[in-house]
Structure 1
Amino acid sequence: MASNSHDSRVRKYFVLGFGVAIAAGLVLGIYLPANAGTAPAWLVFPVLLVLMGGVMLAGLPWWRALDDVQRQGQTHSWYWGSMLAGLCVIMWLIATTGRHSDMSLGAAYLFIAQGIGFALVWTIWRLRGRGASE
C-alpha cells in the first residue's frame, strides 16, 4: 500500500485531529480551574471557545479527506447515534435525579443547544442550495 493512499491520508488526519483534541483536554485539565468562581467566566469562556475552534479546525483535514460515502456514514452515525445516546442519558438522569435536578437540566440544556446548532447549520446548508443538488 502506498504511503499516500486515500486510507492512509484519512488515518493520518484522524490521528492529527484526535491528537489535538487530547492535547486540548490536557491543557484544560491542567490550567482550567476545577471549581466555579475561581476564575471569571467572562475570561474563561472566550478561551474555551478559541480552544474548541482549534479542535474543530484540526478535524477539517480529516473531513475533507473523506469520500462522499464515508461522509454520509459519519453524518448518519453522528445524527442517529448521538441523538439516541443523548436522549437515553437525559431519560436516565430524569429517572434517577428528577426532572428539576441540576444534572437533568444541564443535559436538557445541552440537548436544546444541539438542536439549535443543528437548525442553524441545516438552514445555512439549505440556503446555499445544497439540498436540491444532493
Structure 2
Amino acid sequence: MTKAIDIMSLNGVTLAYMGDAVYDQVVRHHLLELGLEKVNDLHKTATTYVSANAQAFILFRLIENDMLTNEERAVVRRGRNAKSGAPPKSADVQTYRHATGFEALLGYLYLNEENERLKQLCAQAFSFIEQRDGKV
C-alpha cells in the first residue's frame, strides 16, 4: 500500500522538484512530436523550453494573460517564495525564483492529478516559447 501525499503540506521547493521532472518529460515528448531525433538537437532545443529564463518568461506570460486561477497563483507564490538553493549561473535570483514558481505549479497540478489543466498549461507554454523564438 502506498502512502497518500498531503499536497498542501508540501513546500514550494518540493512541488518544484516534482514539476521540474514532469515538465522535462513533457518537453521531451513535445520535441519528439516535432520530429527531432538527434540527441544533440533534442538537448539543445530542450534548453530553450526548460531553462530558468524560459520558465520565468512562461510564468510572466501566463500571469500577463490572466490564465491562472487564484489557487494556481497561490501555488506559484509558494514556489517563488520558498527558500531554495543558489540559482544557476545562467539566471539571477529573481528569475530563478519565478522559474521555481512555475515548476511548483506544474508539480502541484501533477500531484493533484489535474492532467487536463497540466496539458493545457504546457501547451500554452510551448506556444509562448515558439512564438518568442519565431518557430510558429
TM-score higher than 0.5: no
Query: Which one scores higher on RCO, CA 8 angstroms, separation ≥ 6?
Result: 2
* Greater share of helix: 1
TM-score by length of 1: 0.30
Question: If the length of structure 2 is used for normalisation, what is the TM-score?
Answer: 0.29
- The structure number with the bigger radius of gyration is 1
